[in-house]
Chains A and B, each alone.
Chain A
Amino acid sequence: MRMTFETLKVLNIFLENLDEPQYGLEITKATGVQAGTLYPILMRLETNKWLSSDWEDIDPVKAGRRPRRYYTITDLGQREALKAQRELLQPKLGVIHV
């Protein structure tokens, strides 16, 4: 899967809060990734089974709002995200730093 800086930022939020499901607006606030960029990323990660999502379990009448869609990182997502982070941090051979 194509890995961009924004995708890594989104994955990082999930890795930092493994047991905490996240929803769109919350991720936007935490990462600074714009909503227009975030949704294609979430959709791609979910299509590739790196993330899974589910509706919030609330009574909309009592809560006075619609249920949110919460995203959680899968085991595959954790493995691949860590791998991607490692690759990013690894110094590349053949690159001359001045």
Chain B
Amino acid sequence: MSELLAFLLGLLTNEVGEVAPWLAKRIIRFYVGFLPKESQLRYREEFFAEIENVPGSLTKLLYTLKILSTVISQVQALQSSESDSKTSARNSSLQLQRVFIIVCTIVVNVALHGYDSSEQRYTTNIMIVVTLFINYLVAALMWNYATRGKWKEIHSISTELDLISTKLEAAKATPEDLKSVNELKARLIEVRKSYKFRF
């Protein structure tokens, strides 16, 4: 049994090694879709050029995952220069994202494996690590996809608030601007309240 498993693992490693560069490019193409349209082509080419410089096949894939692990921060960085409202919105969302991914990973792993204390612990541990990695990827992809709309909404409200605050600083704000501040704040609170992941 252990020989068969070793053979299968060897085969899997070989396959993954060969497929990794192709997979890295596919992942980049998919993730770059989350960036603003005008930046997509530029960053796709930049990331492709970067991974070409990374030696090894699996390393290319890992480097890609590292680049793209912070896709939300990248979207935020590209969409605007920072303001307090955006920073706090991003921080709270990132915390939610982390909690979501950790909970998903634990739930899926407990459901798949339960708690194992038998003599095949070593094999099971390898399987758990592989599954953890796959779960993490899937959960991260699902989270990013599902929360795209909310991010755009939060960002547009923040931009409007920033515009008014710039006007206020320049003493050019109209009474309508001041009225809309309260409406925008209320909308922002609503969006944040409804900021829940739904399947």
Residues of A at the B interface (CB closer than 8 Å) are 1-2, 23-25, 34-37, 39-41, 43-44, 47-48, 65-69
A40 and B49 in contact, given A1-B81, A35-B63 (Cβ under 8 angstroms): no
Complex contacts, B63 vs chain A, CB 8 Å: 35
6 interchain pairs (CB within 8 A)? A44-B81, A47-B81, A65-B49, A65-B52, A65-B53, A67-B49
If A66-B48, A67-B49, A68-B49 touch, whether A36 touches B69 (CB-CB below 8 Å) is: yes
Contact between chains at B66 and A23 (CB < 8 Å) = no
Return the CB mask of B88-111 against A: 1 if under 8 Å, else 0. Answer: 000000000000000000000000
Count contacts between A and B, CB distance < 8 Å: 59
A25 and B70 within 8 A (CB) = no
B57 in contact (CB, < 8 A): no
Interface size on B, as a range, is 20 to 34
Q: DSSP class of B's interface residues: helix, strand, loop or mixed? A: helix
Residues of B contacting A43 in the complex (Cβ-Cβ under 8 angstroms):
74, 77-78
B73 at the interface (CB under 8 A from A): yes
Distance in Å: Cβ of A31 to nearest Cβ of chain B = 14
Residues of A within 8 A of B45 (CB): 66-67, 69
Tell me if B87 and A40 are in contact (CB < 8 A): no
Contact A69 B77 (CB under 8 A): no
Please tell me if B193 contacts chain A, counting CB pairs below 8 Å: no
Contact of A40 with B81 in the complex, beta carbons under 8 Å: no
Asked whether, in the complex, the Cβ of B76 is within 8 Å of the Cβ of A40, the reply is: yes
Q: How far is the CA of A90 from the CA of B84 in the complex (A)?
A: 24
Q: Which residues of A contact B76 (CB under 8 A)?
A: 40
Asked if B49 contacts A66 (CB within 8 A), the reply is: yes
B125 within 8 A of A: no
Q: List B contacts of A36 (CB < 8 A).
A: 66-70
Is B153 interfacial (CB 8 A cutoff)? no
When distances are taken between beta carbons in the complex, the residues of chain A under 8 Å from B80 are 47
Knowing A2-B87, A66-B52 touch, does A44 contact B67 (C-beta < 8 A)? no
- The residue from B46, B53, B73 contacting A40, defined by CB atoms under 8 A apart: B73
Contacts of B37 in A (CB 8 A): none
Is B54 on the interface with A (CB-CB < 8 A)? Answer: yes
B42: interface (CB < 8 Å): yes
